[in-house]
Amino acid sequence: MNRSNERAISVTLKSIRLPRFLDHPQQHLDLEHMPEDSSPPSGPSGSSPKSDVSRRLFLQTIGISAATVAAERQAANADAVMKPGGATIIGPMPARTSLQVNGRQLDFIAEPATTLLEALRERCDITGPKEVCDRAACGGCTVLLDERPVASCMMLALDATDRKITTVEGIGTIDAPDPLQEAMAEFDAMQCGFCTPGVVTSAKALLVRNPRPTLHEIRAALSGNLCRCGAYPNIFNAVLVASGQDPVAEPTDRGRTTSGGHA
Amino acid sequence: MSHQPRALRAINAGQSVADHATRLEGLEKATGAARFGRDQIKKDMLWVRLIRCPWGRASLDSLDRDAALATPGVVEVVVSGDAGEYHGDSIGYLVARNRRGLERGLQALDAKWTRLDCKTGILDDQEARAPIGDPSKEAAKAIDAADFSFEASYSTPVQTHSSLETHGLMIEPDGENSIVHASTQGTFVVADQIGRFLGKRRSKIVINCEHVGGGFGSKFQIGKEGAAGGLAAKTSGEAVYSFCDREEEHLDTGNRPSLLCKVRLGHDADGTIRGARFETFGGTGVSRRGGGARVPSGRFEFGTLDARNHRDVQFNAGGPRAMRAPGCPQGAFVEELLIDEIAHRCGLDPLDLRRRLDDSERRHQMYDVAADLIGWENRSDTGSQSGTMRTGYGIGTCDWGKGRAPAKIEVVVHPDGHLEVRTGTQDIGTGQRTAMGALVAARIGVPLANISVAIGNSRLPAGPASGGSVCTPSTAPAAMAAADLARERILSGVAEREKLDATQLTIDDGVIMEGGRKVVRWEDACRRLSEPVSVTGEFDGRASAYWGEGSSEGVQAARVEVDCETGQVFVRDVIAIQSCGLPLVRKTAESQIMGGVIQGTSYALFEEQVLDPGTGAVLNANLESYKILGSEDCPRIVPVLWRDDQTGVRALGEPPVIPTAAAIANAVFNAIGRPVRDLPLRPDRVLAALAEPMAERVVAVAPRTTDRETRA
């Protein structure tokens, strides 16, 4: 059983909401020949191997038992091995991986089980995407894959090698912010700011596919992004204004019944 | 509204010192440039993970330390216990070179546990299950003398803080010093606590918490994860990364404790409460204390009280820590729903009864404004509606004390006119950084663009932890003092050079003026400095000319819709009126209020830690099963800053979270005619309430309004 299978089972168990203490597959892994992760090499890499193990396949089959998924994956591997000159099998050894992030090519060596989020944060020093729940419940790790928002904690780095990845850092910078990021700051659409990179990324994806979203559409698009401090109303306003619309209407005075409270 | 100035809530125009200031680190956060403790990831660092008990109570039978140590990447396994008293209790920790090493090491450790019997909640306690005890003699006399007696029992759940950045720290060696990047709401608390684990003197430790991903009361102490990280750093001399994962965060980093409250009271036909007995039980898990609730709060007249009947109940779960207004939202839920129940029994408008029982003049004005903004005139009599969707209106209140602590703020004036505000206290999202910068800018008379703020580092001047809502009230007087010193310093130089009277000089938007005449620009005046000038303002925590007058009071009004077929509650609008003395920065103050309302709404509707009664395991230790409020659930919120003529800076962090759940529970009662006396207001509870008879009325009254059915 290889690392991908291990991860698949682990993540599947997560997805069916078992407590973590049950999250230990009974199978014992053969770790004898596993070297430790090595540091990423500098400079451009050679040819980047393609994963034949599709994480997307797994994502589509959430709900199927772990055993089924594992079996499918093993079959996929076996199939690949049998094809002369066909796809390369990745792992269990750490493998050279190459990602296109924010317009740059980043090369590193990691185990095939490394998630995209781990690769970005721990290998590429891109820490905008946050690890919050590590199971796609909160949106803190949201990145754009081409133009689609995905939870980078639920995807293997190897499955993103041929995609254009954009993190919050790639949407804009302090010196050259995106209008959405400016509106987020202007409307105080954050408090602690830990959810903010994910929120910006999801909202950016919304604006790309729908340049003038309604409040209803904004709420729906951000429903996967949890904010604990409670900045939602300001986030909605920031997205509305970033798309050239008015913020949500507010009362303009304190009513007719009192003179209290005026400055 | 299109005619509003951009980003200005017109209702709060002119209420704060800096109406238009934006959060200084806003762009840093919106572009991902802000580095939190959890983002301090080095290529070569050790990872730490605690070894935790998987059941409510269990003894350790065996573990294979050798196998764990033989696992690639594993560096050390420290086992110091052989039993767990709750799910998430720790018996040691594992150190590895990387994340995979931790995961495989824990697997290889193969801890085998024997599950033992355990207690899982307040109701495992016999006394808690029993009927309410007899009131004291005096209270009994008052209750008996009243027209009617009333008895009920209320409960609230365990709520977890659920900060998005988990608890933990990263420690890196720096020569003979250690830099500790901590996710904390107490820079100097961590500095004091970590040394004994690191084996280092305080002077060799630097705490950095420039950005902190949420802290709602649980991040004062370094915790076990911090202690283990410190020990690993001491042993190895290497950089160490020790953060909880999401499950650990739910299990073992504190919570708002559960509450059971039994009430017996006597009231007259006009709603006057003659006397009452309150019994409270706090669910403190394995902790011996921390389960108290503020009920009654003192905001309402309850006649002769017998209220000091509290007991903390222990069971097998993680203990509580302070959580945003500890004991208050749960107390307010009980007290405010109780008042609405009495109002209904007597056929009174609950706002009218509040006006009678509450003697705060400011809150009386707030009641009027809240009623006006929520549309109280559209409220139907409680229980008068039929149909599937029913609308309800409810009110809740709060108050908060005037706590203060010592604080220092340093202001450095640079020769280019730039002002550096330096404070070691932390900004956990409260807006502390912006508040200090904006206050110094306004006090001196220069644009905020001239200011930068250094914050969240133990090498900076000391300040309080972010707790008890004392941080801004305490740092503000120090900042004002520092700003005045800096201003005087520059103005006296100008006066001397220009042969003017310094007391006649003012600074307006970066220009030094005498009467209406421009004397010199601030930048040009500062250019005369040969070196940066540092001044420090200090607040001793007791007296200061800058303390001023003010208090924190609030009223919230909620409008809900209840789907009586599914039992689901939708919170549509919340009006949140809050005084906090002199508000400093309008936008961040509004954010604080809205955040309180949102957490309060979340507490009212969704949040509840669930323990399996059989095993004591926490069944929802993650964010997909421990539900917190999301964008689709968010009500329309109108935050109203209430300044009057208050001059002193007062508490704002905690008070707005207090009334929300109470107001929502009252609105649900109003909509369906039966009280739901247990939080959260889950659909099953709403449906169960609907199956009960309509709440009793003891005073016959003609309905105030006709039946208003389903308003969409």
The number of domains in chain A is 2
Q: What is the pLDDT of residue A70?
A: 42
Note whether residue A251 is domain-resident.
no
Q: Is residue B678 domain-shared with residue B559, that is, in the same domain? A: yes
Q: How many DSSP H helices and E strands does chain A contain?
A: 9, 5
Q: What is the pLDDT of residues A238-255, one digit of tens each?
A: 999 999 999 998 888 876
- The chain-wide mean pLDDT, for chain B, equals 96
Distance from CA of A253 to the nearest CA of B (A): 5
Which CATH number does the domain housing residue B265 bear? Answer: 3.30.365.10
Q: What is the CA radius of gyration of chain B?
A: 28
Task: Sort residue B548 into left (φ over 0), alpha (ψ -120 to 50) or beta.
Answer: left
Note whether residue A196 is domain-resident.
yes
3-state secondary structure of B276: strand
Query: Is the pLDDT assigned to residue A44 strictly greater than 50?
Result: no
Query: Is the pLDDT assigned to residue B5 strictly greater than 90?
Result: no
Note whether residue A31 is domain-resident.
yes
Q: For B576, name the nearest residue in chain A, comparing CA atoms only.
A: A254
Note whether residue A255 is domain-resident.
no
Q: Which of B9, B29, B603 to mutate to test the interface with A (most CBs of A within 10 A)?
A: B29
Q: Nearest CB to B214: which of A128, A194, A233?
A: A194
Q: Is residue A104 domain-shared with residue A192, that is, in the same domain? A: no
Residue B11: other Cβ atoms inside 10 A:
21
Note whether residue B705 is domain-resident.
no
Query: Is the pLDDT assigned to residue A71 strictly greater than 60?
Result: no
Q: Is residue A153 domain-shared with residue A186, that is, in the same domain? A: no
Q: Nearest CB to A20: which of B6, B30, B247?
A: B247
Note whether residue B133 is domain-resident.
no
Q: Is residue A206 domain-shared with residue A76, that is, in the same domain? A: no
Centroid of chain to Cα B384? 36
Domain that holds residue B72: 38-116+167-243
Query: Is the pLDDT assigned to residue B430 strictly greater than 90?
Result: yes
In A, residues 242-261, which contact B (CB 8 Å cutoff)? 246-258, 260-261
Q: Is residue A101 domain-shared with residue A184, that is, in the same domain? A: no
Q: What is the pLDDT of residue B703?
A: 53
Q: What is the pLDDT of residue A91?
A: 79
Question: Domain end: B513, B539, B565, which one?
Answer: B539
Q: What is the pLDDT of residues A104-122, one digit of tens each?
A: 999 999 999 999 999 999 9
More confident residue, B116 or A11: B116
Query: Is the pLDDT assigned to residue B126 strictly greater than 90?
Result: yes
Note whether residue B660 is domain-resident.
yes
Model confidence band, residue B280 (pLDDT cutoffs 50, 70, 90)? very high
Q: Nearest CB to A194: which of B164, B373, B619?
A: B164
Query: Is the pLDDT assigned to residue A14 strictly greater than 50?
Result: no
Share of chain B above pLDDT 70, in %: 97
Share of chain B above pLDDT 90, in %: 96
- Whether B636 and A248 lie within 8 Å, measured CB to CB: yes
Note whether residue A92 is domain-resident.
yes
Read off the tokens for A197: 């990179």
Distance from CA of B242 to the nearest CA of A (A): 14
Domain that holds residue A212: 172-242
Share of chain A above pLDDT 70, in %: 63
**A104/B contact by beta carbon, under 8 A:** no
Query: Is the pLDDT assigned to residue A15 strictly greater than 60?
Result: no
Note whether residue A260 is domain-resident.
no
Q: Is residue A162 domain-shared with residue A178, that is, in the same domain? A: no
Query: Is the pLDDT assigned to residue B449 strictly greater than 80?
Result: yes
**Cβ–Cβ < 8 Å for A117, A141:** yes
The count of CB pairs under 8 A between chains A and B is: 283
Question: Domain end: A169, A192, A221, which one?
Answer: A169
Q: Nearest CB to B100: which of A111, A137, A171?
A: A111
Question: Domain end: B481, B504, B539, which one?
Answer: B539
Distance from CA of B19 to the nearest CA of A (A): 12
Q: Nearest CB to A226: which of B15, B630, B643?
A: B630
Note whether residue B253 is domain-resident.
no
Q: What is the pLDDT of residue A74?
A: 41
Question: DSSP code of B5?
Answer: P
Read off the tokens for B641: 């800053």
Query: Is the pLDDT assigned to residue B34 strictly greater than 80?
Result: yes
Q: Which long-range contacts (CB under 8 A, 24 or more apart) does B268-272 make?
A: B268/B146, B268/B147, B268/B148, B269/B147, B269/B148, B269/B346, B269/B698, B269/B699, B270/B346, B270/B348, B271/B342, B271/B343, B271/B346, B271/B348, B271/B353, B271/B356, B271/B357, B272/B146, B272/B303, B272/B356
Q: What is the pLDDT of residue A66?
A: 39
Q: What is the pLDDT of residues B626-666, one digit of tens each?
A: 999 999 999 999 999 999 999 999 999 999 999 999 999 99
Q: For B625, name the nearest residue in chain A, comparing CA atoms only.
A: A17
3-state secondary structure of B624: coil
- Whether B26 and A190 lie within 8 Å, measured CB to CB: yes
Q: Is residue B631 domain-shared with residue B667, that is, in the same domain? A: yes
Q: What is the pLDDT of residue B709?
A: 43
Q: Is residue B111 domain-shared with residue B43, that is, in the same domain? A: yes
- Whether B164 and A192 lie within 8 Å, measured CB to CB: yes
Note whether residue B654 is domain-resident.
yes
Q: What is the pLDDT of residues B325-334, one digit of tens each?
A: 999 999 999 9
Q: Which of B8, B9, B31, B210 to mutate to test the interface with A (most CBs of A within 10 A)?
A: B31
Query: Is the pLDDT assigned to residue A6 strictly greater than 70?
Result: no
Note whether residue B150 is domain-resident.
no
Model confidence band, residue B597 (pLDDT cutoffs 50, 70, 90)? very high
Q: Is residue A61 domain-shared with residue A103, that is, in the same domain? A: yes
Q: Is residue A32 domain-shared with residue A114, that is, in the same domain? A: yes
Q: Is residue A180 domain-shared with residue A102, that is, in the same domain? A: no
Q: How far is it, in rounded angstroms, from Cα A75 to Cα A81? A: 10
The number of domains in chain B is 3
Query: Is the pLDDT assigned to residue A51 strictly greater than 50?
Result: no
Q: Is residue B516 domain-shared with residue B580, that is, in the same domain? A: no
Q: Is residue B346 domain-shared with residue B461, that is, in the same domain? A: no
Q: Is residue B535 domain-shared with residue B665, that is, in the same domain? A: no
Q: Is residue A216 domain-shared with residue A100, that is, in the same domain? A: no
Note whether residue B26 is domain-resident.
no
Q: Is residue A180 domain-shared with residue A164, that is, in the same domain? A: no
Q: What is the pLDDT of residue B102?
A: 96
**Cβ–Cβ < 8 Å for A12, A72:** no
Q: Is residue A85 domain-shared with residue A186, that is, in the same domain? A: no
Q: Is residue B220 domain-shared with residue B276, that is, in the same domain? A: no
Q: Is residue A119 domain-shared with residue A214, that is, in the same domain? A: no
More confident residue, A46 or A151: A151
Q: Is residue B203 domain-shared with residue B301, that is, in the same domain? A: no
Model confidence band, residue B19 (pLDDT cutoffs 50, 70, 90)? very high
Which CATH number does the domain housing residue A53 bear? Answer: 3.10.20.30
Q: What is the pLDDT of residue A83?
A: 45
Closest to B155 (Cα-Cα) out of B684, B620, B678, B692: B678
Peptide bond preceding B415: is omega within 30 degrees of 0, i.e. cis?
no
Q: What is the pLDDT of residue A93?
A: 86
Note whether residue B338 is domain-resident.
yes
Q: What is the pLDDT of residues A128-143, one digit of tens each?
A: 999 999 999 999 999 9
Query: Is the pLDDT assigned to residue B101 strictly greater than 70?
Result: yes
- 3-state DSSP percent of chain A in helix, strand and coil, to 5: 35, 10, 50
Q: What is the DSSP string of B156-173?
A: E--B----SSPSEEEEEE
Q: How far is it, in rounded angstroms, from Cα B170 to Cα B608? A: 31
Question: Domain end: B185, B216, B243, which one?
Answer: B243
Segment B254-264 shows an average pLDDT of 98
Which CATH number does the domain housing residue A212 bear? Answer: 1.10.150.120
Query: Is the pLDDT assigned to residue B134 strictly greater than 80?
Result: yes
Q: How far is it, in rounded angstroms, from Cα B125 to Cα B123? A: 5
